[in-house]
Amino acid sequence: MILLVGLGNPGEKFARQRHNLGFMVVDEIIRHHSFSPERKRFQGLVSEGQLGGEKALILKPQTYMNESGRSVGEAMRFYKLTPADVVVLHDELDLPAAKIRIKTGGGAAGNNGIRSIASHIGADFRRLRIGIGHPGDKARVTGHVLGDFAKSDKVWLEPLLDAVAKAAPLLGEGKDSSFANKVHLILNPEPPKKNKPPTANTRPGDKED
């Protein structure tokens, strides 16, 4: 079983903020893979389904970002999971917009949601970091993270949500590198191969030996 955790803050006030990107991504996975309707459990909202042939539980903690670990720890203990079974999806200030990185373990890098989860279950869980870009000025960071996505962000945001949802079964299979590669290929498809031009000794439509 895999536990996918989207990070964000509950309520309409926060729904479109960059800091709620984790909620947005798991919502797209729920829609794309026909997960069950959400219900309240583990101090969060949970939805059940299948990813890559594995049972999957999606959790959106409703404790507010800074206390996410309370919800994740409760769910993990109930299902007797290990940190390796947990994938946390969250916004990442230090990655360019639309870029993703997936890794196991590491520090919190200033994300209080990650810090809270690590304090409850240890640091060795999987993290899908999703870039929102840096505003370029440290004084503008808080406003950027807690600000709503701009209309112009739709150009990259909607394709990214779709790509992550399509590749999500690979997370269920534990194939994190393959997942990252598939997302990249969906967002950056190879251009179609051009037909080989005819040589001087052939006419269009003729086959070369």
Residue 121, H or E segment: helix 112-121
Confidence category of residue 190, pLDDT binned at 50, 70, 90: confident
CA distance 26 to 32: 10
3-state secondary structure of 130: strand
Q: Looking at the annotation, which residues are catalytic?
A: 19
Which residues partner with 47 through β-bridges?
A: 58
Q: Decide if pLDDT at 207 tops 60.
A: no
Tens digit of each residue's pLDDT (9 = 90 or more) over 26-73: 999 999 999 999 999 999 999 999 999 999 999 999 999 999 999 999
Tens digit of each residue's pLDDT (9 = 90 or more) over 130-189: 999 999 898 999 999 999 999 999 999 999 999 999 999 999 999 999 999 999 999 998
Residues 6+ apart with CB under 8 A from 78: 42
CA distance 181 to 28: 19
Task: Show the tokens assigned to 99.
Answer: 């870029």
Q: What is the residue extent of each domain of the chain? A: 2-187
Q: Is the CATH number of domain 2-187 3.40.50.1470? A: yes
At 21, give phi and psi (nearest 5°): -60, -35
